[in-house]
Amino acid sequence: MTQPNIPDQLLADCHHLGWLRGSAVLLNRNAAVPWFILVPQTQMNDVLDLPDDQREAILAECAAVSRFIKQQLGFDKVNFAGLGNVVSVMHLHIIGRHSKDLCWPQPVWGNLPQSEPYAPEQLREWQLDLITMAGLAPATL
Query: So where are the chain's domains?
Result: 8-135
Give the pLDDT of residue 1. Answer: 42
Strands (E), the chain: 14-19, 23-28, 35-40, 77-81, 92-97, 137-138
Q: How confident is the model over 51-79, as pLDDT tens digits?
A: 999 999 999 999 999 999 999 999 999 99
CATH number, domain 8-135: 3.30.428.10
What is the 8-class DSSP label of residue 123?
Answer: H
Rounded Cα–Cα distance for residues 100 and 119 (Å): 22
Rounded Cα–Cα distance for residues 69 and 65 (Å): 6
Rounded Cα–Cα distance for residues 91 and 13 (Å): 13
Could you tell me the pTM of the whole model? 0.94
Give the total residue count for the chain: 141
Is 139:16 a contact under the CB 8 Å cutoff?
A: yes
* Position 135 pLDDT exceeds 50: yes
